Amino acid sequence: MIVIILGPQGSGKGTQGKKLAEFFGVPFVSAGELLREEAALGSELGRRIHEIINVQGELVPPEVITDLLDARRMKDDAKQGMIIDSYPRDLQQLELMRKRFTPDVVVVLNLSDDEAIKRLGGRRQCPDGHIYHLVFNPPKREGVCDVDGKQLLVRDDDREEAIRNRLGWHRGKTEPMIGAMEQSGVRVVHVDASAGIDDVQNAVRKIVGI
Ligand code: ADP
Ligand code: AMP
């Protein structure tokens, strides 16, 4: 089972994708997290990725993220499938994906830019990727991850200017790519992501369970 979750930054892809992966017992694979992990290694590729994500605020080249995802798909724990967050993000990535796999379903989380900005301004994450919100999903102890006790941080790219830039690519590059996917016969289901976390999760589970 391969499920892809797409949507603007802040729509809840990570929040929903992690819960869904736990529910179905398959790994959650976020394109952004794969890139941040590679960047943290400090390799030559990692330094290039860090520069693109955090300094230029752009998408990394399609071959880079496709290669990282290829390697992740080959791991044993992905044999039964996986939940992929944020790949493909544009038409070039869609072409590369088509040569590799077909998702069972693509879930698109729809949210307005204003709501996304409100959410991202309060996002806090632990180094292992557990996601919180200062108001909508606070940790039990301020600044500390409920799961592993690590300190919660603001992501380097959660600055208003960088957020607006990323929302711009979603509208300009990812939405046309989603249209192309739909036209090619892939099952694409749109979900209103403005509801609370549990309501959105229930809607997504219904779609994926069918
Ligand atoms: P994405 O992966 O799409 O960028 P996240 O899952 O990181 O989005 O969520 C962005 C922020 O919004 C986080 O702080 C998260 O806790 C919060 N959030 C996610 N879903 C909801 C929701 N349905 N209602 C309110 N806040 C949410
Ligand atoms: P995210 O964690 O989804 O917000 O992604 C963080 C950053 O990683 C993005 O702002 C991009 O710079 C990069 N990124 C994430 N997914 C992709 C992708 N599919 N293709 C290219 N770059 C990506």
Q: What is the mean pLDDT of residues 177-197?
A: 96
Per-residue pLDDT tens for 68-79? 999 999 999 999
How do residues 131-184 score in pLDDT, each as one tens digit?
999 999 999 999 999 999 999 999 988 888 888 988 999 999 999 999 999 999
Q: Is the CB of residue 11 below 6 angstroms from any atom belonging to ligand 1?
A: yes
Q: With respect to residue 27, please indicate whether it lies within any of the assigned structural domains.
A: yes
Mean pLDDT of 183-187: 95
- Does residue 151 form part of some domain? no
Q: Whose CA is nearest to atom 6 of ligand 2?
A: 32
Lining residues, ligand 2, CB within 6 Å: 9, 30-32, 35, 53, 59-60, 65, 86-87, 89, 93, 157, 166
Q: Is residue 39 in a domain? A: yes
Residue 125 domain-assigned (yes or no): no
Residue 134 lies in a domain: no
Domain CATH number, residue 84 = 3.40.50.300
The atom number, within ligand 2, closest to the CA of 53 reads: 12
Ligand found nearest the CA of 49: 2
pLDDT for position 210: 54
Which residue out of 86, 93, 157 has the highest number of ligand 2 atoms within 8 Å of its CB and is therefore the one to mutate?
86
Q: Give the residue carrying structure tokens 């493909």.
A: 88
Can you tell me the mean pLDDT for 85-103?
Answer: 97
Residue 209 has pLDDT above 90, yes or no: no
HEC string of 127-169?
Answer: CCCCEEECCCECCCCCCECCCCCCECECCCCCCHHHHHHHHHH
Question: Annotated binding site for ATP, which residues?
Answer: 10-15, 123, 131-132, 195
49 domain residue, yes or no: yes
Give the residue numbers spanning the domain of 45: 2-112+175-208
In a domain, 130, yes or no: no
Q: Helices 91-98 and 175-183 meet at what angle, rounded to 10?
A: 40
In a domain, 123, yes or no: no
At residue 176, the pLDDT reads 97
pLDDT in tens, 37-51: 999 999 999 999 999
Q: What is the pLDDT of residues 100-129, one digit of tens each?
A: 999 999 999 999 999 999 999 999 999 988
The count of domains in the chain is: 1
Does this model's pTM top 0.85? yes
Site to probe by mutation for ligand 1, drawn from 133, 156, 174, 199 as the one with most ligand atoms within 8 Å of Cβ, is 133
